[in-house]
Amino acid sequence: VEPKEPLPIDCSSIRADIDNLWPIKDASFSSIIFSHTIERTQKGLDQLINEAYRVLEDNGVLIILSISLTSLIGVRRLLQVDGNHWCHSLYSDFYLHAKLIDAGFEIQPSIDFPIKSKWLPYYLPKAAMLGYKMTIAQKKEIGAFLNTSMN
């Protein structure tokens, strides 16, 4: 994604700690993608979501690809059945949406990605497809946010 105005740094090589403030000007991006990022934050969602909100321009889009706590893969990761210990945090869709709304985002229709599981019998295809989730949130314009929060 190319910013509308040049940033003082090369965006293709930004490296930032997800648990700390980012070295990016306010309203610099039209979109941000978190691909399996929220599972790794140790300080929780608030700071991460607030930083995304800060660097997104009005009507900017935040796309979050994650494992839902309520999915079969999420339960396996939570119980560490599969031996993966890289997840610091898993969140339910409801909790994630509530945090995004509190920060000033509007939730757009989300997408579930089917994942076939070798752990489930072939006759449970729907249960075997509960896995990854794409959550799409759009930053509200500040005026629209103030009008809805006052009503």
Residues 6+ apart with CB under 8 A from 75: 69
pLDDT tens digits for range 69-93: 666 666 666 666 555 555 567 788 8
- Out of 36-45, 47-56, 100-109, 134-143, pick the least confident: 36-45
Average pLDDT (59-69) is 86
List Cα–Cα distances, 56 to 6, 62, 93, 94, in angstroms: 15, 8, 22, 23
> Tokens at residue 68, please?
């839902």
What does the domain layout of the chain look like in residue ranges? 11-150
Over 50: is that where the pLDDT of 133 sits?
yes
Residue 62: band (very low, low, confident or very high) from pLDDT cuts 50, 70, 90? very high
Structural domain 11-150, CATH architecture: 3-Layer(aba) Sandwich (3.40)
Distance CA 91, CA 70 (A): 8
Q: Is-contact 127 113, C-beta < 8 A?
A: no
Among candidates 111, 108, 116, 102, which has minimal Cα distance to 145? Answer: 102
- Calculate the alpha carbon distances from 21 to 29, 49, 76, 143, 144 in Å: 16, 11, 31, 25, 26
Cα end-to-end span (Å), the chain: 35
Q: What local confidence, expressed as pLDDT, does residue 45 receive?
A: 86
Provide the Cα torsion 107, 109, 110, 114; round to 10°. 170
User: Is the pLDDT score of 68 beyond 90?
Assistant: no
pLDDT, tens digit, 9 for 90 and up, residues 95-120: 899 999 999 999 998 776 665 555 55
Most distant CA atoms of the chain, gap in Å: 55
pLDDT of residue 142: 66
**pLDDT for 120-132, tens place per residue?**
544 444 544 456 7
> Residue length, the chain?
151
